[in-house]
Amino acid sequence: MAADVQIRQMRPEHLNAVMAIEAQCFTTPWSSGVFSGEVRENPYAQYLVAQTGDGEVIGYAGIWLVLDEAHVTNIAVAPNWQRRGIARKLLRRLLQLSLHEGARRMTLEVRKSNIPAQKLYLGLGFKEAGIRPRYYTDNNEDAVIMWLDDIAAWLERNEQDDG
């Protein structure tokens, strides 16, 4: 369960495991060069990994921090670890990190067809704010834009929840 999973800062040595999860979860995965650039070079990026007690990387998530906003860039959990609260735990840690870094709001895009992810985000307090038509270039699928408008208030309301 998620209680046994540790959330840590993504480091270059995690990239092979992250790329394996990326390939399992997405039809158009990010390249290793993109991930490497995000982790090593992007001053606005923060990436986390979820690891089991023995150090196996089973999920990851990232944000860009720009002014007072955090933008979720990517989140994935290995298929055999999904539906155990790990994505929620990763998002909670991103919210904590975002607030610490001065962000007040968080946004993300999610495929219109990805109903399980939308339910997760809605359950965490995100609200639909619009549609980005043909956002995903692999199949021209629309993206649902979602916002969580007050990170501090959400964390205060959910402070007892460890994810």
22 is known as an active-site residue: no
What is the pLDDT at residue 28?
Answer: 86
CB neighbours (10 Å) of residue 99?
17
CA dihedral 21, 26, 31, 32 (to 10 degrees): -10
Of 13, 121, 128, 135, the active-site residue reads 121
Domain chopping of the chain, boundaries: 2-157
| DSSP string of the chain, one letter each residue | -GGG-EEEE--GGGHHHHHHHHHHH-SSPPPHHHHHHHHHT-TTEEEEEEE-TT--EEEEEEEEEETTEEEEEEEEE-GGGTTSSHHHHHHHHHHHHHHHTT--EEEEEEETT-HHHHHHHHHTT-EEEEEEEEEETTTTEEEEEEEES-HHHHHHHTTT---
Q: How far apart are CA 118 and CA 120, in angstroms?
A: 5
What is the pLDDT at residue 137?
Answer: 82
What is the pLDDT at residue 50?
Answer: 98
Please tell me the class of the 2-157 domain.
alpha beta
Which residue shows structure tokens 């929620």?
Answer: 88
Q: How far apart are CA 91 and CA 88, in angstroms?
A: 5
**Which pLDDT band, with edges at 50, 70 and 90, does 163 fall under?**
very low
Task: Tell me the pLDDT tens digit for each residue of 40-95.
Answer: 999 999 999 999 999 999 999 999 999 999 999 999 999 999 999 999 999 999 99
Of 109, 135, 136, 159, the active-site residue reads 109
121 is known as an active-site residue: yes
**Which pLDDT band, with edges at 50, 70 and 90, does 159 fall under?**
confident
